[in-house]
Amino acid sequence: MSNIVITSDSTSDLSVQLRERYNINTIPMGISLGDKLFLDDGVQITPDMIYEHHRKTGELPKTNANNYSDCYDFFKPYVDAGKTVIHFTISSDMSSTYNNARMAAEDLENVFVIDSRNLSTGIGVVMVAAAELAESGMEADELLKKINEMLPCSDASFVIDNLEYLHKGGRCSAVAAFGANLLKLKPCIQVKNGTMGVVKKYRGKYIDVLKEYVNDKLNDLSDILPDHVFVTHAGCDEEIVNSVVEQVKACNYFKNIYVTRAGCTVSSHCGKDTLGVLFIRKSPIK
């Protein structure tokens, strides 16, 4: 059994089943909704609660980074048990969680904090690969090297059906939001170098847009590792999710296809009806 423990903050959006399969534990970030603070643990607050609150009040939640004490208290039991901890965080450009976790790790032994430069299952797909390498018996030094090689190859993108959440969160101008919604444009957001940016704008019905998006992402499989692919969504209709999954299956390429629901952090920024297909490339994202 490996002495290495893979952990992350709650933004990695791995399902309970995957976390149990790979013995991955997460530290929940905070979510402020109205005048109440919740832990992003999938129990105290859920994305559907965020959507309902926004529908009633027009307010968006605020996400709160893990502080030094949160991280120290999370790491300490593993250290006391003689474990080596490899901890992934959301991109340092999006949150102070990385720096707080790094400072906590400096006061402990054998805790290594990874700035994923990503979010959601763009982090999770690397964590799953890392957990499998740890299970195979790979030592920590070599595993850290492999992780650093994989991070720039993690392809995280998603298509947004409505720009209201991005606009209210200050990530999209009012003019751009109005124009996109008027023209029924659906932006594709790509994570690159730790930040989010629009790489393409689709037009039409969301289910048709997603078909085009998947074709664009998977048109050249030669540069994609076949081990794992995630279809991650924020409350999309089952018909839409199943359509995308069947399209990915039709490639006859991926060994494992996982469907996961985006957690509260991604849902807070992008809103309902956001969907992405995420995987690891063989070469860094350009």
Q: Is residue 286 part of a domain?
A: no
Phi, psi of 181 (to 5 degrees): -70, -35
Domain residue limits at 271: 154-281
Instruction: Give the total number of structural domains in the chain.
Output: 2
Compute the distance between CA of residue 153 and CA of residue 248 in angstroms, rounded to an integer: 19
Taking only Cα atoms into account, the Rg of the chain, rounded to an integer number of angstroms, comes to 19
Together in a domain, 56 and 146: yes
Q: Which of 255, 281, 6, 37 is nearest to 143 (CA)?
A: 6
Compute the distance between CA of residue 32 and CA of residue 266 in angstroms, rounded to an integer: 14
Return the CATH number at 255: 3.30.1180.10
Of 119, 152, 185, which marks where a domain is finished?
152
Together in a domain, 185 and 105: no
Q: Which of 218, 227, 225, 237 is nearest to 275 (CA)?
A: 237
Of 152, 169, 193, which marks where a domain is finished?
152
Compute the distance between CA of residue 268 and CA of residue 246 in angstroms, rounded to an integer: 28
Look at residue 42 in the predicted model and tell me its pLDDT. Answer: 84
Of 152, 183, 214, which marks where a domain is finished?
152
Compute the distance between CA of residue 83 and CA of residue 239 in angstroms, rounded to an integer: 43
Together in a domain, 20 and 144: yes
Together in a domain, 101 and 176: no
pLDDT by residue for the chain (286 residues), tens digit each?
A: 689 999 999 999 999 999 999 999 999 999 998 889 999 988 899 999 988 988 898 888 888 999 999 999 999 999 999 999 999 999 999 899 999 999 999 999 999 999 999 999 999 999 999 999 999 999 999 999 999 999 999 999 999 887 665 655 554 444 344 444 545 688 898 999 998 888 888 988 999 999 999 999 999 999 999 999 999 999 999 999 999 999 999 999 999 999 999 998 878 777 888 999 999 999 999 8
Together in a domain, 9 and 148: yes
Compute the distance between CA of residue 70 and CA of residue 73 in angstroms, rounded to an integer: 5
Compute the distance between CA of residue 135 and CA of residue 95 in angstroms, rounded to an integer: 30
Together in a domain, 241 and 253: yes
Together in a domain, 12 and 123: yes
Together in a domain, 162 and 236: yes
Tell me, what amino acid is at 137? Answer: G
Together in a domain, 146 and 27: yes
Together in a domain, 98 and 167: no
Look at residue 182 in the predicted model and tell me its pLDDT. Answer: 43
Together in a domain, 34 and 76: yes
Together in a domain, 69 and 57: yes
Phi, psi of 30 (to 5 degrees): -95, 145
Tell me, what amino acid is at 270? Answer: C
